[in-house]
Amino acid sequence: MNSLNFLTARSRVQRAAKVLKRTLALVRRRLKAADVWVQDHHVGVGVTVLVLITTASGLLLRFRLDQMIWLARQFAPVFTILSITITAVLGSIKWVRKRRQARLATTDTTGF
C-alpha cells in the first residue's frame, strides 16, 4: 500500500508541475503580447492613463478633501525624504551603468 500511495503522490506532483509549467509559459506569452501591444500603442496608453489618474484624483479630492489634506500633512515629510533617497539611488545606479558601459566599450576583449 505504501508504494501505491507514493506512486500516486508522485504522479500528482508531476501533473501539478506540468500544469504549473504550462501556466507560467502562458502567462509569459500573454505578458510579452501585452508588452508589444503597449509599445505599438504607447501614445494612446499614455493619454488614457493620464486621463484616468486625473479623473481619479479629481474625484478623490472632490469627495475626500479634508481626509486628503490631513494625510498630506501627516506623510508629506516622509514621502519627501523617500523620494529624495530613491532618486539619489537610481541616479547613482544610472551613473555606474554609464561608467561600466564606457569601460566595456574601451576594453579589449581579444586577450581572453
| Cα–Cα distance for residue pair 18/9, rounded to 1 Å | 14
For residue 107, what is the DSSP state?
S
pLDDT tens, N- to C-terminus, the chain (112 residues): 566 676 688 888 999 999 999 999 999 999 999 988 888 898 898 899 999 999 999 999 899 999 989 998 999 999 999 999 999 999 999 999 899 888 888 876 655 5
| Cα–Cα distance for residue pair 55/63, rounded to 1 Å | 12
Task: Let me know the angle formed at the C-alpha of 83 by 39 and 71, rounded to the nearest 5 degrees.
Answer: 105
Angle between helices 2-40 and 42-106 (to 10 degrees): 100
